Structure 1
């Protein structure tokens, strides 16, 4: 395929992905005068928020934290909700485009299918599904953590003659569920959001659950312009502090442990944080993720709050069991508003897949293990994602010696600083494995990562260098630190997308850096200040960059 107008074959930087991370880096490289382009498989900007359009889809991080920190992009923008829905997030991305005019450097409907390192030229040869080939000096994968939908190998799925969609590929025009018989398979975050959104309008709803989602109160608020205008005086403080907080929000866990608190203090602290809503509602003590007694105490409090909203004792036990299914906070909780009330409706059934697994799909619906056929008009597959590593391993990326990323990570992930891989020079990635990713929110993670990557490339350009590669020793050390922290946490006993346990054949291990944002970025800064310790920089500029 010939190179389209506006795209040169020998790019300085090719970015894959036009979400928060890709757009943030594109505007940096344009200011630096680099020849940079973005490829994205979608038809518009937004990254995961181009695809997240299922009923009830909304962010689980509050604004302004969940937005770009650049004053130009928040000074005149006002949100309508503390936790915006997908339509407002899309509108925000179009506002960003109006301000920065980034689309002229983005090629849409273009999926990168392969990338091969050329050791002789110190460049990547990147090929798209349309046959377009470019040769960037640097390859930046801004492909996101939750972008590859996963559907289990259900027997007979293709036989179903009704409407069936995965939440990650919901049709743009939507699906009419009013008065229909609807099944939702899965109760992860997208399942929770769909259930509470469509519950009041369907004819009958059947929820298939394997593990209860330990949902937290969202604490949604409507926002007005006057309040936001006043609050914007603090926006710079918020954006600076999100890099000082453990999870990239505007708060840290209460600085006292559960064991040293009195029974009265425990109750009052739990109630205070619960009332605030969001993930903060279980951040009432600093040892909840480490200490079983603390975790059990917070879980018991959570359970009492949830059970009080449910009428049926059987449903109480299924959604908020007396024995915790895992440590609270050990899997990504979903933020909810009316999720539990849906199960009080007479037209809602809850099927425990541990008791009655899905045997097969038929033309009319789903047959469960007890032999019963459940008939549906619409089936929603809220079955999750091949998270964190999936978007990278789905691309045929071949480094030195022709080894692929998928082959290297088959038995476990190895990175340096959660942004680079030994054997794959000049390749960087954001919001991916062994970075704060799943334990933070997107913008809080990808902006400083983008700054760090841009700093590396600027350093190389200034010094006429053409190759940077992480050392195997640095990878070993980084992996050792990630796993060492993880081994201290109660979450290591849980299974889910945080550790890849939801994907058959995937190595089960923590996929994100669990040590908090301040520790993570201090390590990244330390490497840069020591001349990019943990990397080998080489080559001499030959005029191609």
Structure 2
């Protein structure tokens, strides 16, 4: 293949204009590299470019933002847990500060990419036919950009309005005084239910597994207190990279049963009053490893929740006597008034374990007990093909012609949760086999993003044109993921943490569970040792002849 016209060559192509894509663009620009961002949506923000009713973050202020001083110094947040509209305001603010959009192509969905060994570049194709040839391909598509809808028979027959939460119209949907059905009680389900429950004429919730939701303790923020707190921001951001969960607070330094009953109770009450993920992240250090310890924590949670629910049947459905899985084995959502909604006379809770969905009809949902539930609006809060689907939905092919979907069909193989053997010069952020699901998002994004920038800078400064992990390094990383992952209680639940929510998907640990701080130590050590486990090629060399 002849060398392409220089106009379509780039040093770096970034796919996705959310937190990680903007972070990469900012740093590669500073280095003077030619870099562009392709974004499938019509504006900045990635998954935050639109939102369903109640959509908001679950990391509290000020942690859910980029740690660049020029961005946080004069931005004022309105809420402890910002909603999607405030996140949109934040991304527009970023653009005003950094002029991001001049290097972003919106409504540009990448559909295919293949690595050309003759020129050591990626050939990237978009849905609208654009072709570019970057040296490096950095995929910033997040862990939840491929939605999942179960194969409900008859869904196309429904005559009302139906949307998956991931594809909610930007103009919104009028739900006031409507009959609404919500399928699913994960994060988006909880948020929709508590938001629309008080305003609809009737709400029917279809639940298979109860959500062990935690109190959000939402509050409005004032400018004065934020300005006073900003002196601590640099320390908070640095501290977040020194902890297991990517937050500036850490696990309690004791096992549960080494503490007295009084110590446990007072500690739990303190965490409960703080709200958010404090209850899981700062709990006793063995609750995700010791089933008996986890059960004690669950019992505290269950009793707290039951106090808020009037009906004994609903208590058992939402906070069962016997837990369906360990607390924390599925992601705990944050709620504000979720449990009170089920005290309302206009709310019906359908237990799909008692009577599953038979089919979708023109009027609503027919369950196997013969009851037809009728709606004006049907909300599918059925989740995502998480952690892997964001990449496998793109036809990405490496030097052997095998796609990433084919490579991962029977199990995920990466090195460091950022690279793949046979896919030179390709990096991805906030995906499989990284701390992703067990980390504050921006913390994980910045740790990985900075490593990638450092790696590409090393290559540019040393006239290296290709990098790829060796199969041996990839196998070692997978072994580490499996060995640490299988020891944790997260494997005792059918969740997206392990891919169990998608029929036919290989069920296995999909995250690095050793903690953000340990992950950072590992990847920095790899870089400091000359990118141990990676092969490089200089101009004019070949991948096959490279000494590993």
TM class by smaller structure = over 0.9
The residue that corresponds to 2:74 in the other structure is 76
Q: 1:299: Cα distance to partner?
A: 0.2
Q: 1:441: Cα distance to partner?
A: 2.0
The residue that corresponds to 1:144 in the other structure is 142
Distance 2:24 2:118 in 1: 27
Alignment equivalent of 2:191, drawn from 190, 193, 199: 193
Post-superposition CA distance 1:187-246 (Å, at most 9, x none): 000000000000000000000001000000112121100000000010001110110111
Distance 1:36 1:441 in 2: 27
> Which residues of 2 match residues 373-384 of structure 1 at below 5 A?
373-384=372-383
Alignment equivalent of 1:171, drawn from 165, 169, 172: 169
Post-superposition CA distance 1:314-365 (Å, at most 9, x none): 0000000011010001110100000000000011000011111111111111
Secondary structure of 1:12's counterpart equals strand
TM-score, with structure 1 as normaliser: 0.97
The residue that corresponds to 2:358 in the other structure is 359
The residue that corresponds to 1:329 in the other structure is 328
Post-superposition CA distance 1:446-479 (Å, at most 9, x none): 1121111011111111111101010111111111
Alignment equivalent of 1:58, drawn from 46, 51, 56: 56
Q: Determine if the alignment matches structure 1 residue 427 to structure 2 residue 426.
A: yes
The residue that corresponds to 2:247 in the other structure is 249
The residue that corresponds to 1:220 in the other structure is 218
Report the more deviating stretch, 283-292 or 162-171.
283-292
State the superposition RMSD in angstroms. 1.1
Distance 2:493 2:307 in 1: 26
Q: Determine if the alignment matches structure 1 residue 504 to structure 2 residue 522.
A: no
The residue that corresponds to 1:87 in the other structure is 85
Aligned partners of 1:253 and 1:280 also within 8 Å: no
The residue that corresponds to 2:45 in the other structure is 46
> Which residues of 2 match residues 388-399 of structure 1 at below 5 A?
388-399=387-398
Aligned partners of 1:14 and 1:136 also within 8 Å: yes
Aligned partners of 2:481 and 2:513 also within 8 Å: yes
Secondary structure of 2:123's counterpart equals strand
Q: 1:284: Cα distance to partner?
A: 2.1
The residue that corresponds to 1:271 in the other structure is 269
Distance 2:366 2:95 in 1: 47
Distance 1:27 1:250 in 2: 25
Q: Determine if the alignment matches structure 1 residue 533 to structure 2 residue 532.
A: yes
Q: Identify unmatched segments of 5+ residues in structure 2.
A: 542-548
The residue that corresponds to 2:317 in the other structure is 318
Aligned partners of 2:255 and 2:284 also within 8 Å: yes
Post-superposition CA distance 1:350-383 (Å, at most 9, x none): 0011111111111111100111111100000000
Secondary structure of 1:401's counterpart equals coil
Alignment equivalent of 2:113, drawn from 109, 112, 115: 115
Secondary structure of 1:130's counterpart equals coil
Q: 1:266: Cα distance to partner?
A: 1.1
Secondary structure of 2:134's counterpart equals coil
Alignment equivalent of 2:127, drawn from 121, 129, 146: 129
Secondary structure of 1:344's counterpart equals coil
Aligned partners of 2:210 and 2:317 also within 8 Å: yes
Distance 1:8 1:36 in 2: 12
TM-score, with structure 2 as normaliser: 0.97
Post-superposition CA distance 1:168-200 (Å, at most 9, x none): 000011111111110000000000000000000
Distance 1:502 1:322 in 2: 24
Q: 1:249: Cα distance to partner?
A: 1.0
Q: 1:540: Cα distance to partner?
A: 1.7
The residue that corresponds to 1:288 in the other structure is 287
Q: 1:541: Cα distance to partner?
A: 7.2
Matched pairs, number: 536
Aligned partners of 1:258 and 1:287 also within 8 Å: yes
Q: 1:120: Cα distance to partner?
A: 1.3
Q: 1:8: Cα distance to partner?
A: 2.9
Post-superposition CA distance 1:96-146 (Å, at most 9, x none): 000000101000001000001111111110000011000100000000111
Q: Identify unmatched segments of 5+ residues in structure 1.
A: none
Aligned partners of 1:464 and 1:541 also within 8 Å: no
Distance 1:60 1:151 in 2: 23
Secondary structure of 2:396's counterpart equals strand
The residue that corresponds to 1:459 in the other structure is 458
> Which residues of 2 match residues 489-500 of structure 1 at below 5 A?
489-500=488-499
